[in-house]
Structure 1
Amino acid sequence: MEKFEKVKEVISAIEADATKFYENGNAAAGTRLRKAMQDLKVLAQEIRAEVTEKKNSDK
């Protein structure tokens, strides 16, 4: 659950950069957004692995 909370924090933190990029065309904000999305991808994969491990260990 800790990593899921981290996902929510990252999304909350990058919301301003997403707005700056999509509405104002700020390229630097786009770069920060891309990096944050990559971090989210890594977190999501870690969460998937944990869920699979927990699901299989409960059998």
Structure 2
Amino acid sequence: MDKFTKLKELASAIETDVEKFYNAGNSAAGTRVRKAMQDLKVLAQDIRSEVTEKKNSVK
């Protein structure tokens, strides 16, 4: 559950940079968004693995 909380916090933290990139055309904000999205991807994969492991251990 901690990883999911971190995922939500990270997603909300990049909201400003997403707006700066799409609305103001700020390239540096785009770079920060790309990095954060990669971090989200890794975190999401960790959560997927954890859920699968927990689901399979119940059987």
Judge same fold: TM > 0.5, yes or no: yes
Instruction: Tell me what 2:19 maps to.
Output: 19
- What TM-score, normalized to structure 1? 0.99
Q: Take 2:23 and 2:10, find their aligned partners in 1: how far apart are those partners?
A: 20
Map of 2:6 onto structure 1:
6
How does 1:38-49 map onto structure 2 within 5 Å? 38-49=38-49
Q: How many residues align?
A: 59
**TM superposition score normalised by structure 2:** 0.99
Which letter maps to 1:36?
A
Q: Percent identity?
A: 75
Gaps of 5+ in 2: none
List structure 1 segments (4+ residues) > 2 angstroms apart after TM superposition. none
Calculate the aligned-residue CA RMSD, in Å: 0.3
Secondary structure in 2 aligned to 1:30? helix
Unmatched runs of 5 consecutive residues or more in structure 1: none
Aligned equivalents of 1:8, 1:55: Cα separation in 2: 22
Tell me the alpha carbon deviations over residues 22-57 of structure 1, each in whole angstroms, 9 at most, x when there is no partner: 000000000000000000000000000000000000
